[in-house]
A and B are shown apart, each in its own frame.
Chain A
Amino acid sequence: MTDPVPVILTVDDDPHLLSIIEHHVLKWGYTHCQATDSVEMWKQLEQVIPSIILLDVQLSDCDGTALVPRLKHRFPSVPVIMITANATIETAVRSLKSGAYDFICKPLDFDRLRIEVDKAVKHLCLSLQVKAFQHAALRTDFHGMIGRSEPIRKAYRLIETVAPTDASVLLLGQTGTGKELAALAIHECSRRSTGPFVAVNAPAIPHELIESALFGHEKGAFTGAHQQHIGFCEQANGGTLFLDEICEMDYNVQAKLLRFLQDHEVQRVGAKSSKTVDVRVIAATNRNPAQQIQKNKLREDFYYRLSVVSIDLVPLKQRPGDIALLTRYFLDIAAARYGRNMSSISSEAAQRLETYDWPGNVRQLEHLIDQIVITNNAAELTAEMLPPEVTEKISCEVSLIDAKTDEKPEKIIPSIQEMERRLILHALELTSGSILQAAGHLGLSEATLYRKIKKFGISRTFTEQQ
């Protein structure tokens, strides 16, 4: 792609001067547009954003220098070069003080004007580059991923670095941390962005159909194969194949995928020959790969083939500042989607959202905001709208702090049963819902913990990740 040709806007009350400037500017390879007074200039600026503005000091309808602050306010990066037939120090100082980039006297020396214009174009390019870098450093949105905390910015940088290569990538992170969004971001930043992005959620496909789903089948290959089916690996030809939850895949399917990763050949079930495809594979898991290898849930060779590059997506609670940003983002989207006017968040609600652990990570926050917006027709999201598990977290911590210090607790002391329920909740949050690990922390057997979970009616969202 070629860079757009810089546009020079000249504002002067004499059309004959505009003609001669246009003659030169076009000769230098720039595009030219013009205005004879301030009214016409503002009209032009509705249509085009110039690279440079050449502005006469003495316009028919106003003093050109008076326009500079407004121009700089609206187009801070665009250099304004003043031109005048009144070559006095006072005019020059006034021009530069107003924010002009430079000052040129009439009669126009077109050699000098060209140097100044070229210089100003370079200046503009540099300032735009600086802005782009600054924006990248402060960015809160990266291909649909929201966040500006250091851990998420680190992920953005890694995605940008790895995307242009064809290396396989393994995305690690708890459920709801945005692994599919990260996979999509890699695809969008890669040379494959115009190709297909095929996401495969292995646990959602019945065991007996997974091979056919991945590699396809020919008509009549097996009972029920009434027509030919092109598998996900072939569908992703020229693009990216995203394999989610790889640890939930059958061990034998992992072996077949390993072979696919090695030779990029697809053989549909029932086909006599294979076909070579050009596919980049990105995989994801919410499990600890080392532990899964030990448990024979993940093939070691498959893991090493996939994890050429590993990107860790940290839990939401380890992303300071991002909760507020994401809450705002999801609130705006939900309010628009459901036609609500909820546009602000009370400070108490914001504080409670910030201090909650978010075991379900970004997805949990998104669903919660959706739920609040749907069920509350109010202008502000308040703490009262939050579910107990979000607000209880603080109470629990307050109780524990009170217990550690000798200060008098200001709140009513909860019952031992309530404390037990909270401890179980806390342990489940810390272990991302792992019954085994939570039981270990609490000094209970798995069976006892299951019984207590049932007894206290704790949400199944904590046990789903087992």
Chain B
Amino acid sequence: MSDDEKNLDLSSNQPPQPKPTRRQTWEHLTAEYLNDLPRQLDELKTILKQKDYATIKKHAHRIKGTSATYRLDDISESAAQLQRTADTQKPKAVSDIIDELGRLVQLHAGRLNSLTHSSVDDSERLTDD
């Protein structure tokens, strides 16, 4: 029996799954983040009702850093604006930015959804690193 044959999982009837490409992994992680952001924004709205601006600022700071790392620059900029506005303690202004953030999240989620349906270059597979 060859080594390749030995490596085959004979107990499974499923064909072996190809390893995800770097791009696919990135898109998957970004999608997970974008799916979670609406929950974080809802949480911000609840905190706003309690007028806990210090916590809003802290959350905005976190969104600013992580979204920038995910290359979601406009979300990061809005989060930075939210961080600054929280200092003013103006509920309407803060609420508007949270809404704006929600709109941006929806926009990116839509874009990503259309991207994931496009073809993937095999040369980007993680196994080819």
- In-complex Cβ contact of A20 among B29, B36, B129 (8 A): B29
Among B21-60, those with CB < 8 Å from A are 22, 25-26, 29, 32-33, 36, 58
A85:B61 contact, CB within 8 angstroms: yes
Residue on A nearest B35 in the bound complex, by CB = A16
A86 at the interface (CB under 8 A from B): yes
A28 CB, min distance to chain B CBs, angstroms = 10
B29:A106 contact, CB within 8 angstroms: no
Known: A16-B29, A20-B29, A27-B129. A85 touches B70 (CB 8 A): no
In the assembled complex, the Cα of A27 lies from the Cα of B36 at a distance in Å of: 24
A58 at the interface (CB under 8 A from B): yes
Q: Which residues of B contact A14 (CB under 8 A)?
A: 62, 65-66
Main SS of chain B's interface residues?
helix
Measured CB to CB, the residues of A under 8 A from B are 13-14, 16-17, 19-20, 23, 27, 58, 60, 84-86, 106-108
B65:A16 contact, CB within 8 angstroms: no
8 contacts between A and B (CB under 8 A): A14-B62, A14-B65, A20-B69, A23-B26, A58-B61, A107-B65, A107-B68, A107-B76
Residue on B nearest A85 in the bound complex, by CB = B65
Known: A16-B36, A23-B26, A27-B129. A106 touches B69 (CB 8 A): yes
Q: Which residues of B contact A107 (CB under 8 A)?
A: 65, 68-69, 71, 76
Task: Tally inter-chain residue pairs, CB-CB below 8 A.
Answer: 48
A14 CB, min distance to chain B CBs, angstroms = 5
Q: Which residues of A contact B33 (CB under 8 A)?
A: 16, 19
The 5 A-B residue pairs with the shortest CB-CB distance in the complex, in nearest-first order? A85-B65, A107-B68, A106-B65, A16-B33, A17-B66
B77 CB, min distance to chain A CBs, angstroms = 11
Q: Which residues of B contact A108 (CB under 8 A)?
A: 69
Residue on B nearest A86 in the bound complex, by CB = B61
Q: Which residues of A contact B66 (CB under 8 A)?
A: 14, 16-17, 20, 106
Q: Which residues of A contact B32 (CB under 8 A)?
A: 16, 19
In the assembled complex, the Cα of A107 lies from the Cα of B64 at a distance in Å of: 8
Q: Which residues of B contact A17 (CB under 8 A)?
A: 65-66, 69
In the assembled complex, the Cα of A19 lies from the Cα of B34 at a distance in Å of: 13
Q: Which residues of B contact A19 (CB under 8 A)?
A: 29, 32-33
A16:B70 contact, CB within 8 angstroms: yes
User: Contact mask B1-28 → A, CB, 8 Å, 1/0?
Assistant: 0000000000000000000001001100
In the assembled complex, the Cα of A58 lies from the Cα of B32 at a distance in Å of: 23
Q: Which residues of A contact B26 (CB under 8 A)?
A: 23
B115 at the interface (CB under 8 A from A): no
In the assembled complex, the Cα of A58 lies from the Cα of B58 at a distance in Å of: 8
Most buried by A among B22, B36, B62, B64: B62
A110 CB, min distance to chain B CBs, angstroms = 8
Known: A20-B29, A23-B26. A85 touches B58 (CB 8 A): no
